[in-house]
Each structure stands twice: as C-alpha cells, then as structure tokens.
Structure 1
Amino acid sequence: MSKPLQGATGLALLLLLSACGGGRDSEAGRPKFPVPPAPSPAPAPSPAPAPLPPISLNNAPSDPCVSGSAPAATLAHGLGPGKSSAVSVLGCTGPLSDMRWQQLDGQPLRMLAERSQTLALEPAQAGTYRFKLSFRDANGAAHEQSVSLNVPVSQRPNLLVLRGSHSVREGGKASVRAWPADAGSVQSIRWEQIEGPSVTLDTRDPRLALFTAPAVSRDTLIRLRATLTTRSGVTDVDEALVLVEKYAQAKADNPSAIWSDQHVSRVHPYLPGGRHADHLVPCVYDAAQTDDTLCPLSRLPLLAQETGGALPTVEQVMARVVVSHDWMGRNFEALLRQHDSRGDFRRMLMSTTAVVIGAQVRPSFYFAATGAIYLDADNFWLNPDERDTLNEAPDYRSGFGSALQFSQLWRYVRDGRSMFSYYDPEQRRTRSTDEVLNESAALLYHELGHALDFLPPGTYAGLDTTQGVWANIWPRYSQRRIVSDLLTAAHPLSSSEWKGLGQVLFQGQSPDATQTAYTPAQLGAAFEADRATDFYAYSTAREDAAMLFEEALLASRLGYQRDVALTDRIQAGATGSSIIVRWGQRGRVGDPRIKPRARLVLEQMSPWLDAGLVDALPAPKPMRVGESWTANLGAAGAPVRRASSAVSPSKAELALMRKEAQLHDHSGRPKLPRAR
C-alpha cells in the first residue's frame, strides 16, 4: 500500500475469542424429583482442601525517578519463577538512547528486547539475576551500571503468566497477553491497573489487555495485574510493566512536519556499526523531520547508488535495516539468504534508502518522502517468544462502503491451498522461514512495487545527490511521468462503475443511490470487462501498478495465483464455508487484455526480468459461481457443486476471512511533503 495516497474499505467480521469457560449452573433446566419419604443420613462432609500459600505481590514503586535528579533510574520487578519479570531504565531528565542489556549472573535467560528500555524476562528458577546496562542520556553522555533482579521463591502453582512487559512511546498502542497454564480450567480472568497514569483498558478478550499509552511529562511506568480464577475457585495473579517513554511526536497542525499526527516508534539500526548506522533513524523515522530537513542522497543514498547499479549483497541490504527488536533483522536476513537466490528482493530494494521493521508499524507502507519501506514485524516472527514482543493492537480499518450490497475477497492459491495460514495467538507455535515467506512475499512485492514506481531503475543515473528522495521524484511526479502515470496513459481503466466505487471503497466518499443498488453479479461483469487485476486498482493509479506488479511476481516466481471474488455483503460470523461466490476469477493477470499492462509495469520497474515472463502467465479461470469461497479453493473452472450450507464459524476460519477480505487502507498515513 502506498504511503502518500489514502483510502480504505472495511469488512465487519466479528472474532469472538472466548477465554473464559464455565460459569453456568450444570443443574439448570433439569426436572425436579419428589423428596424421598425417608431421606438417607447426610454423608460426612469432605475435608476442605489445604489452603494455598498467600500470593506475594511486589509493591515496588512505579516511579523510581522521584528519588533524585539523576538522568536515569532503573527498576526490576517480578513475582516469582515462571512469572513475568522485567528490568527497566527510565529517563528522568530526558530521553535515553543506545540501550544495551547484557546478562551477567543467574540462569541464562532469553532476551529479545535487549536494546529497549524494558527487558521482559521469564525466569524459571528463583534467585538473583544480574545485568549490565549501558545507555546514553539526553546530553549524549555514556553510562553503565549494574541492575539486579531478585526472583523470590514461591510455593504456589503457576496458573497464569503475563506476556509481556515492554516499552512504548506516548500515543503508541500497548498490549499484554494473559497465558493460563490450563485454558480449560479457567473461570475468569480479571484485569486491573495498579499504578501509573490512568488508561482505559480494552479487555473484551479477557486474555488480552489493550490500551493507548497516555501523554507523559517524562518516562513513566504503568503496572497491570491480572487475576485468574479457576472453575474450582483457585486464584493466581501475575503482573506486567509497560514503560511509557516521553517522546515529542509531530503535531497534527504542523504542516511542514512529515510525520504530523503520526506515531513514530522507537527503532535502531540492526547493525550498529554499519556503514549508514548514524543516518538511518534521523533520515527515515524521526518525528522531528520536516519538509526542509529531509536528508539529501549524499547523506543517505539509495541502495542502487551504493552498488553502482550492481546486485546488492545481503550485507549491503542489512546495513540499511532498522528494527525495534534485533530478532526482526535476523529473520529478515535469513529470509533473504534462503529465499532470494534470484536476487529479486535485493534488486527491488535498490530503489529504497532503508527497511524499517517494527513492533508498532501497522499497517505496512512505502513513503516517498524518505525512500524507505516500513514493514509490520508480525510478518517475520519465527517462534512464540518473538511473537510475544509484538503489539497486538488490531489494524483497525475504516468501514468505507458499508452501505453497499457486496463484499470483496482475495487470496493467493497454489495446488488448491491458500498461501495464508492462521496462527492462533493463544497457542505457542513456531513457523518456518517458508511460512514467513508466504506471509511476507505479497507485502514485499507490493511495497517494493511502490518504490519502483516512484524510482524505477531507469532513474538511477540521473539522481541529484544534493537533494533528497522526494526532491528527486518531484519533477517526474509533477509532470505525470511516474510509471503508474505511464500505465494510465497507455492502458487506462474504463469502468465508470468501478471508478466511482473506488472513491467509495478506498477514499471514503458516500455512495449514491445507484451505487447502493449494484449487485455483486452486475459489478463482476463490469470488472471482468475492464483491465484491472484487483478492485484496489480503482483506488489510485499507484495501487493499479502495484497490484499488477505484485500479482505478476507471485505468479511467476512463487507459482501463486490470485483469486478475486465478489459476494453478497458479508455479515458478522460468516465463514468461507458459508459465503457464496457471485463472481470470481483466478489468475486474472494472465488475461490477454491485461498482459500489455503488466508488461509495461515490469519492463519499467524490473527490467532484469525475462521479457517473456508475462507471456508465460496462464489465462485466468472463472471461479464457481454459486459455490462457497472455501469450496472454490479447488481447481477453478470445474463444474458447480452443491453450495455449502452455513456452519458455525471456527476462530481459524474467521481469522483467515480477515486476511482474505479486501482490507486496504491509506487513512492515517503521513502525506507527501509540499511541492518543491
């Protein structure tokens, strides 16, 4: 999705996450029996279970900065073995930077946020754990100190653990998940805020607490507690810390700030000693950036300028990677080494200045002002510990087009199976790099397609290094010579119905009476007669080109064909087994009328590809109208079978429907700088 151009569509699919079982009287509704005339003697009462030891709660102060005027203060907190523990450093007189945690003593712990102000831990044994912390204060002075975490002995069974403590800048989204040891025994989970500035907790899913970090005058801790009660009445608690970092976000009313009214989260260079380490964050992800302070290419050049147009090495790419957690860089590097043998991703990255991967980046985007792509780290985790570090706040999408009579669906299919999988957040499962490729390939092709649209290889030789990325793009952008503009001029889209609906679905316009009367079958016929590969093409010319690029590359490189379909308006609780396809096609990019459009895009944006690639794309096949979306996973074009009946939705089906719904959105993204 292109950063500068905005729009959305919504799909009301309700995902009910039931974390609490029981609570219903098992005798309710049973018939009553007459009292026996001679009741038997009452049985002797069973002995009461032995009481559990009391819960020991650590009441450490949440504001260690009040004790003095030092530039920073540390805090360690934990309730016992197997519980959530954390060590934090707070900036008392200003922001901190260059954090680094190292464990010195104690049973080795897995540390995945070692360059954050809060390090979440889960010690399995009681004892003292000691860490070395290094950082720079607001004046740039280096500090180093020792921090000890004392994990007390506990005789209680571990029924609950919270994951996980973390840091977030003010205005950012925060989430903490509750993990019961035995999900089937849970009667209830109750959340409460123990300390810190008051926040509104969203606990509609009892296993997940969500909130927005409040504005603070300096680094401030928020402490949450969850109490689990089992069906047998046993309780257990755990606590988590969320450190809210003071950070001056760009104001919404500042027209020159390129991140105005946006949340810029903390990130750092994956390779701190890399060639561009000093310039990456200030040039691509700093709330202080304005139209007039954008970095020139002499300070942070495109990757293509560094390589002289040659294929970049993985090392050259990784020197431009910016992350919120180091594991994101490691996994991205593994993806390139294992799944980029042709060099496609590395060649596409030549049109970028940096790759930003973050726990708070949602949704992903390309930003022509900085020349960087910004990727949601949820696409790259391999194990549950890595997933624990991610913000789980939903990617809320606007409900544009909710008055219309139809819904749109899409997915990528190979050998009768969807490219996407559902990974239940309540399960501790791992993923392979093959699965990570499936999750991230479409994202990478799409966002890099945007970068290549604005800066195709043919522009590299003429770049002015005294100017920034946007200043180099602007002359071609203003004269409509961007690749997507050339596409529109040579092969314009023609459907008046869909051009109008594109503004309703993706730009937020209100539909008129004619548009609300359209049926899925009518719109399917109009779409099939035109030359777009996806409904999102009617959002902007930029998305038209990016969708062509994405679909052609996934088909030719990975063998996945894109399904697009129209259905009746999807209602809450619907599943792929109950939703009926009213129109649909598989592999639309192979349509002979669309191939010239795909050829133009690929020739301009990826000239290294074989010229015959587009010609080899197979012709599209119709989906089976009248059959369910799930049933259509099989071979397209086969005879219609009996339509599937509605079934009770499973959590996995509903989650997959979210992925396969047309949920594109540009709302709330930074806008392009002013014209130069």
Structure 2
Amino acid sequence: MISTPSPRGTSAALTLALLLAACGGGGGGSTPAPTPAPPPPAPTVSTTGADPCTGSNAYGLTTLAGELVGKQAAAAVVGCTGAIVAPEWTQTAGPAVALLSAKSQVIHFEPAVAGTYGFRVRFTDPSGTARTEDLTVAVTAPAQAVRAVVRNHQAVRMGGKISLRAWAPTGESVNSVSWVQTAGPTVSLQNVDPLAKQFVAPEVARDTVLRFRATVTTANGASDSHEALVLVERHVQASASDANAVWGGDHISRVYAYRASSPYASALVRCTYDSAQSDRALCPLSQLPFLAQDVAAGQIPTVEQVMDRVIVSHDWLGENFEQFLRTNDTRGDFRRMLMSTTAIVLGAHVRPSFYYAGTGAIYLDADNFWLTPEQRDTIDEAPDYRAGFGNSLSYYGLWRYAKDNRGYLAYFDPQRRVTRTQADLLADAGWLMYHELTHALDFMPPGQYAGLNPSLSAWGNIAPRFSARQLVSDLVSSAYPLTSTEMKGLGQVKFQGVTATATQNAYTADQVAGFFSADLATDEYAYSTSREDVAMSVEEMLMSRRLGVQRDVAMVPRNGETIQTSNVRWGQRGRVGDPRIKPRVRQAASLVVPWLPSTEVDALPAPVQMRVGESWSSNLNLSPVRPAEANDRRQALSAAEQWQLRKMMERQQVHEHPKRLPAH
C-alpha cells in the first residue's frame, strides 16, 4: 500500500472528474481567505463522457466510468482555455501500479485488484500558474470474466496518428471486434489488423476527449466491451507553407529531456524537436554542442554523457536506451558514433526513424526499444506512410538479416504479452543504430571535430561541406559510382514515391536482378540517395563484423503467390563482401568509423548465392539441402512469417526522412 495524503476535493465515487476553475482554491500555492466559504461540490462526469471543460474552467480532470479489475483504467488533465505544460503524475493511494505515461496528460494502468487508487498531478495551467491536483479512481471486481481489454488510453496532439488495440485476455480465440466512437468529434477508424484500429487526431479548438468502445466476441460466442479514452491536445504545428519553419508540415509530438539534471535539459527540445523552431534561429553549438565536443580527444563518451542528450516521450524509453548501451555497447561503437549527434530523440510517435542534419540529432522509433508488453502498449502502431510505394511493379526486392541460417529478427505476437530480452533489443535496434549513426557521421565525420565553430549551429558547421559536395557519401559516390540507370529510376519509385512508368512496371524479377547484381550497391535502398548508399554499406559491414549477422537480398516475381513462397530469381547473403564492393566500403568505413582497422573490411566473407527456383523461405537455410527438402518448405505462411514479411517491407523504407535542409 501507498500512504494516503489528504487530497483536497477528492471523492471515492465509482466515477469521478473534478472540474477546476483557474482561480479556484486548488494547488499551486493559492492562499485561502481567512474565513473561506465552503467549496462547491465537485461535479461528476457521467458515464456518457460529459465534457470536463464547462463554463470558464481553465482546466479539468476526467476518468473513465465503471473501472473494473483486469481492464485498463485512465485519468486525464485537460486544458480548457489553453495548453497544459509539463504534467507529471504520481500515485498517492491504493495498490501500487506502474504509470508508464506519467509525464503525459493521460495516465493509464491495469488494476489487478479492487480498491481505491489515488493520484496527484502537477502541471502548469493555461494561465502559467503551477497547479497540484488530486483524484481517486474506484475499481471494482467484474461480475463476469473479462473478455475485452482495450489498450492504450493516451494523449496525442491534433494531427497525430493514434492506434487502439483490443484483447481477449483469457486467451480465447477472437471471432470479431466491433468499434464505436462514443464521444468527441467523429474520426475515421481504419484497420491496422482485425483487432486494432487507427485514426488521425482531429483538429480541435481546445483539448478534447474522444472515447471509443470495443466489443469483443470470442469464438464460443461470449462477448464483452471496454472503453478507451484518447485526449487530443490543442497544439498548432508549423504549416508546410512556412518556408522558415524547421518542422513545417510535420507532426511534432510531446517530448521532454530524459534527465532533468542534464546541463542541456533546457535546450534539448527547443533546439531539436520543437514545432516552433525556425531555421533562421537554429541553436548554436555553444548552446547544444555535438557530443564530441564534450569528450577529450581519443576518448570514448561515457553512458552518462550520452544520456544527458536523450529526449523521450516516455521515461521507459530512456531507461531501456541506457540499459541497451550498458549491455550491448561493450566495444564502444555506438557511443563513438553518437559523438556526431547533438541529441537522441526517442518517441512513441516517431515513424520513420531518421537523422536530420538541420539539428544534428537522430530521431528513433520507440518500436525498436520496448522490453515489456506494457511498454509496447504505449507505442503507436500506425505504419510508415511509404509502405505502399512501388506496389505497381512486377517484382519484389526482399531483404532480411540472418545468423546461423536463421532469421535474426524475432516475431512477438502483440496478443501474447511477451517480454523481450536485451539480445532481442540488440537485434531490433542494433541495425537501426548503425544505419542512422552512419548518416550522422556522413555529415559530420570524426575528422571534422577539431574545426567545429561553437558560434554556428550544427547545420552552420555542416553546410559548407554539404554545398561543396564533400560529405563522405559524395566522396564515395564520386570514386565508386553506382551506374545502373534502371535501378536509380526504380529507387525513386520505391523509396521517394515517384510514379512508375509503363516500362518500369513491366520489368521482370530476372531483369531487375540483372540490373542490380552487375552494379556495386549492397541493397536496393542504396538507389534512394547517395546518403542511403553509404549508410546501407556501413550498416551491413558492421552487422557482419560486430554481430556476426549477414544481410540477405533477393529478387522475386510479384505474381499472385505469397512473397515467401515466390521463387527467388536471384539472391545473395553477405553481398557487402563482394570483392568489387569492398573498396567502396573500405573508403566509407575509413572516414565514418576510423577506429576500426581496415582489416575488418578485408575479413568480410564472400557472398553466398541463393538457390534460384526455390522460395525465399527455403533460402533462409543456405546449407546444402536435397531438392525434396526444399519443396517441403513451400507451405502456408505462419503468423510469424507474415509479421516478418510486413516488417521487412516497412523497414526497407524507414531510414530517410524527406525533410528539406535549412537555407545556407
């Protein structure tokens, strides 16, 4: 149990919301009159989801109605006349629960036992006044077995993508899920999969509560319902037409400095992920320097120095990232590579992951860093917007990572509530870190650290070399150019959204295999930009030499069969070890990861050819097999294979953010 204070104006009613006037005698240090009048009773939000903002209230509090054991409960602080700033929740009473969104306007928790749960929220109200408010949530035992749970109650800024997922926690097979919106401006619910929906948060005049009810029907005919609460924050993003806005047209979610004690805490968000940023007033390095500027020459940054640069949407992201570095960065590669960044943004609404030279920061999708199912619940499931590019083409270009003839990326069914290990985290995030940090080192290689000008911004220091075409990727593409015009054209279709021509749509898998195999790229994504070319090469080299993991690439026809069972027309494992490709990899590595000896590139194993005519699935095991064994593998896809296929298609396109660079 947690000791209970004496909160002002709380109630143990089953359903509770406090409506708080801006000038009312709440927290925040307001001084009561010598003989105060009795306060008016706190109104209660009805089960129909009454608006917590009534009259002239500056802010309000609200919860869900009828909270039950085994179902997610929620509470929210709502800005009625303006923005709520820096909310922070703590638990004050009841059986202890984890508050994974404690620095959001909405908290959620899943009570295991009945009881009264008390919470306190501190925040700055729309008038700029510091406030402290308390509320309680009464949870009772359900009258029947819980067969429906909806996760996750959350807050999102308007224009952001939101996903909600229904569960049958008893493990029963779900026959159907029906969704109904019960409160708030109507939104269009789109399918993520049979159990999950997504939508775009609508434009609102003030913070607005949306409510949704999911009814789950199991295979044996039993049904149950659960309601979800989504708070849409009134936050105006920079317009795409604003030529001076760093983030014009982008959705910037709420984030904060993970370490409040960091010497850069006040600058981190302002200088790297603020919708109000102007490229005419970028932060100079004197305010937010590259990590390299805090590290003595020849030294490796400490984990503490890295964590002082971390920005998060949830505290668990910072905790997991720190654990990731301490467990998986024993050679210091990640920390050395991070020296070319000003900050690391880890966000539940960051998708795709990207590096941005305008701020010198990297932005990483939280989906790569969850360890527990509860952490995973807080992450938006909306797919990368580029997942449909190239759908008119007649072939698939496939990729995966393999180790010891097994797939390296593991499948974790979201319905099974699986906890991951640090080894799983390395598999899911290691390749991404190598890739995004190679981008950072392309724009700011170690050879440039000594000449940094602290009076200029990160971009101000990068721009002269960018204009002179002296980035690492420029030098590599000049010395070892990619020559296939056909692949360059297909790269624009698949990764930049250019409409395919009739000729491109007619290319067969065999033709594309011929174009690709004769050139020097390690992956199709290299034809997106020269920046991706270098990032793919270094990523694959590091995965091979540091983790013993090799990348597979293949071309298969898009012929109505499933991708996994389509015949491979050409494919290789470990293409980065091709003797024709090694010289360009060696040049790139010598500039972006100069602490690695050149023998690392020399030691890359020669590529292994896939068996033409066999399926992508059967080619996972490239050990010699009898033809009959290969044929036996051509079977229906498992759920895990379907997931891996979807992730493969999405992740081929998650690296580059199509942002313009600031003027220079």
Same fold (TM over 0.5): yes
CA pair 501-393 structure 1, distance change in 2 beyond 3 A: closer
Kindly indicate whether the alpha-carbon contact (under 8 Å) linking 1:418 and 1:633 is maintained by their aligned counterparts in 2: yes
Bigger Cα displacement from structure 2, 629-638 vs 486-495: 629-638
Deviations 1:336-371 (A, max 9, x none): 000101000000000001111111111111111111
Where do 5+ consecutive residues of structure 1 fail to align? 1-56
From 479, 483, 486, give the equivalent of 1:494: 483
Using CA pairs under 8 Å that are at least 6 residues apart, name the structure with larger relative contact order, 1 or 2: 1
Please state whether the residue corresponding to 2:54 is helix, strand or coil. helix
2:99 maps to 1:119: no
CA pair 542-69 structure 1, distance change in 2 beyond 3 A: same
CA distance in 2, matches of 1:351, 1:552: 19
From 597, 608, 627, give the equivalent of 2:614: 627
Post-superposition offset of 1:637:
7.4
From 578, 582, 589, give the equivalent of 1:595: 582
Query: What's 1:344 paired with?
Result: 333
CA pair 136-265 structure 1, distance change in 2 beyond 3 A: same
2:215 maps to 1:192: no
CA pair 584-153 structure 1, distance change in 2 beyond 3 A: closer
TM-score by length of structure 1 reads 0.87
CA distance in 2, matches of 1:185, 1:467: 59
CA pair 394-283 structure 1, distance change in 2 beyond 3 A: same
2:138 maps to 1:147: no
Kindly indicate whether the alpha-carbon contact (under 8 Å) linking 1:76 and 1:148 is maintained by their aligned counterparts in 2: no
CA distance in 1, matches of 2:554, 2:650: 10
Post-superposition offset of 1:666:
7.3
2:369 maps to 1:387: no
2:270 maps to 1:282: yes
CA distance in 1, matches of 2:203, 2:657: 21
2:138 maps to 1:159: no
Post-superposition offset of 1:510:
3.5
2:258 maps to 1:255: no
Query: What's 1:330 paired with?
Result: 319
Kindly indicate whether the alpha-carbon contact (under 8 Å) linking 1:625 and 1:640 is maintained by their aligned counterparts in 2: no
Deviations 1:64-98 (A, max 9, x none): 1214333x221122422222211111112221222
Please state whether the residue corresponding to 1:292 is helix, strand or coil. coil
2:534 maps to 1:534: no
Kindly indicate whether the alpha-carbon contact (under 8 Å) linking 2:62 and 2:75 is maintained by their aligned counterparts in 1: yes
Please state whether the residue corresponding to 1:337 is helix, strand or coil. helix
2:296 maps to 1:308: yes
Please state whether the residue corresponding to 1:661 is helix, strand or coil. helix
CA distance in 2, matches of 1:675, 1:636: 53
Query: What's 2:61 paired with?
Result: 74
CA distance in 2, matches of 1:548, 1:636: 25
Kindly indicate whether the alpha-carbon contact (under 8 Å) linking 1:623 and 1:632 is maintained by their aligned counterparts in 2: yes
Post-superposition offset of 1:384:
0.7
CA pair 626-349 structure 1, distance change in 2 beyond 3 A: same
User: For this pair of structures, how many residues does the alignment match?
Assistant: 617
Identical counterparts, % of pairs? 50
Bigger Cα displacement from structure 2, 388-397 vs 216-225: 388-397
CA distance in 1, matches of 2:413, 2:618: 23
CA distance in 1, matches of 2:287, 2:112: 47
2:88 maps to 1:104: no
Kindly indicate whether the alpha-carbon contact (under 8 Å) linking 1:99 and 1:116 is maintained by their aligned counterparts in 2: yes
CA distance in 2, matches of 1:661, 1:218: 38
Kindly indicate whether the alpha-carbon contact (under 8 Å) linking 1:98 and 1:115 is maintained by their aligned counterparts in 2: yes
CA pair 352-62 structure 1, distance change in 2 beyond 3 A: farther
CA distance in 2, matches of 1:130, 1:155: 23
CA distance in 1, matches of 2:626, 2:145: 58
Kindly indicate whether the alpha-carbon contact (under 8 Å) linking 2:386 and 2:495 is maintained by their aligned counterparts in 1: no
Query: What's 2:535 paired with?
Result: 546
Post-superposition offset of 1:610:
1.7
Query: What's 1:610 paired with?
Result: 597
Kindly indicate whether the alpha-carbon contact (under 8 Å) linking 1:132 and 1:147 is maintained by their aligned counterparts in 2: yes
Deviations 1:418-459 (A, max 9, x none): 111111122111110100100011111111010000000011
**Mapping for residues 369-408 of structure 1, pairs under 5 Å:** 369-408=358-397
2:410 maps to 1:421: yes
Post-superposition offset of 1:399:
3.3
Query: What's 2:467 paired with?
Result: 478
CA pair 529-644 structure 1, distance change in 2 beyond 3 A: farther
Please state whether the residue corresponding to 1:593 is helix, strand or coil. coil
CA pair 204-550 structure 1, distance change in 2 beyond 3 A: closer
Bigger Cα displacement from structure 2, 388-397 vs 148-157: 148-157
CA pair 232-276 structure 1, distance change in 2 beyond 3 A: same
Query: What's 1:215 paired with?
Result: 203
Where do 5+ consecutive residues of structure 2 fail to align? 1-44
CA RMSD in angstroms comes to 2.1
Deviations 1:484-516 (A, max 9, x none): 000011111122322232233223334444433
